[in-house]
């Protein structure tokens, strides 16, 4: 994880997820309205079959990447010990351009808050395998 900008803040501080559902391996970049993460597809992933992981997993990769940016915002505005409750996530749109994601492959996910209204966010995400675009997901996030 890139720690220079995070000053000792870990993924466990930012996201409520834990193994085996913590799918992000590294935070490559994070800003006030975007995040870039890396995930290596492993046998512990849900939706695994003999061909690899089904593309629906990209929705969770997008949601966790959105959680990096928005969770860090929570820490900056409310403190590291603030309530870490997750966001309710709605899928506005999802397009998958691959039938299965191969085991061992590295998926890079970029999320960007396209709209931010208090406790409601719309987040646009793109997912790449090497240089290939494999998915686009638009999420709507709400935090009670």
Q: What is the pTM of this model?
A: 0.88
Can you say whether residue 7 is alpha, beta or left, with left for phi > 0 and alpha for psi between -120 and 50 degrees? left
Is pLDDT at 104 greater than 90 in this prediction?
yes
Q: What is the CATH number of domain 11-142?
A: 3.10.129.10
SS3 105: coil
**Rounded Cα gap, residues 61 and 93, in angstroms:** 14
pLDDT above 90 coverage of the chain, percent: 63
Note whether 113 and 34 are within 8 A (CB): yes
pLDDT of residue 2: 43
Q: Kindly indicate the confidence band of residue 3, based on its pLDDT and cuts at 50, 70 and 90.
A: very low
Note whether 30 and 38 are within 8 A (CB): no
Residue of 97 and 89 predicted with greater confidence: 97
Closest CA to 134 of 111, 104, 101, 103: 101
pLDDT, tens only, 32-56: 899 999 999 999 999 999 999 999 9
């Amino acid at each position: 994880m890139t720690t220079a900008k995070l000053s000792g803040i870990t993924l466990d501080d930012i996201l409520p997820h834990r193994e085996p559902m913590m799918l992000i391996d590294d935070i490559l970049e994070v800003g006030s309205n975007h995040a870039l993460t890396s995930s290596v597809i492993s046998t512990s992933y849900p939706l695994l079959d003999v061909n690899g992981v089904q593309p629906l997993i990209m929705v969770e990769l997008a949601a966790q990447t959105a959680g990096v940016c928005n969770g860090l915002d929570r820490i900056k505005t409310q403190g590291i010990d603030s309530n870490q409750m997750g966001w309710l996530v709605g899928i506005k749109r999802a397009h998958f351009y691959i039938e299965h994601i191969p085991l061992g492959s590295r998926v890079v996910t970029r999320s960007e808050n396209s709209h931010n209204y208090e406790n409601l966010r719309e987040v646009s995400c793109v997912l790449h395998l090497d240089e290939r675009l494999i998915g686009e997901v638009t999420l709507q996030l709400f935090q009670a």
